[in-house]
Amino acid sequence: MTRYALLVRGINVGGKNKVVMAELRQELTDVGLEKVESYINSGNIFFTSTEPKARLVEKLETFFAVHYPFIQSFSLLSQEDYEAEVDNLPAWWNEDLARKDVLFYTEGLDVEQVIATVESLELKDEVVHFGKLGIFWGKFSEETYSKTAYHKGLLKMPFYRHITIRNAKTFDKIGQMLKTKKGDTQ
């Protein structure tokens, strides 16, 4: 049995694409996912399954196409994927930066193209790390944040609509939720 995090892009943001998380949890249980939980109201879902990841991706794509057609991008990562990523993070990720975000690659995304695009940017008071699950992006100062490539260019990038972003606090919470299976007494 493998524990997964399903990170859905663009739901319950600014009153758009409303999804009632309790209903979504039940619907995902009904399609065969086990121990389904969610964290906050922005598309962080956790479950266990014995199915291979490729089969789960197909199942989720079909499910969203039928029930939530506005959900076109999501990331699916296992506890093992997450832990391997944490083991390879740069030292700056653990420092107290002004802002830290993870731009998670979504299923079907051309990751090489995304990396090439980000590598072409002129970074201003910021740092990036290209991981297996996404791009880890740190901003050093709130005062210079509005001048960063992240702030000035990210929304304009062609891949923006096909990534899902979580801040460092949520990234840490994803790790905790992956380790704690529903019903555990930890």
The answer to whether 29 and 21 have CB atoms below 8 angstroms apart is no
CA distance 71 to 73: 6
- Average the pLDDT over 170-183 and give the result: 86
CA distance 3 to 156: 34
pLDDT for 138-152, tens place per residue?
999 999 999 999 999
Residue 88 in this model has a pLDDT that exceeds 90: yes
Give me the domains of the chain, ranges plus CATH numbers. Answer: 2-79 (3.30.70.1280), 84-176 (3.30.70.1260)
pTM metric for this prediction: 0.92
- Average the pLDDT over 86-92 and give the result: 97
Task: List the Cα angle 164/131/115 in 5-degree steps.
Answer: 75
* Residue 40 confidence class, pLDDT cut points 50, 70, 90: confident
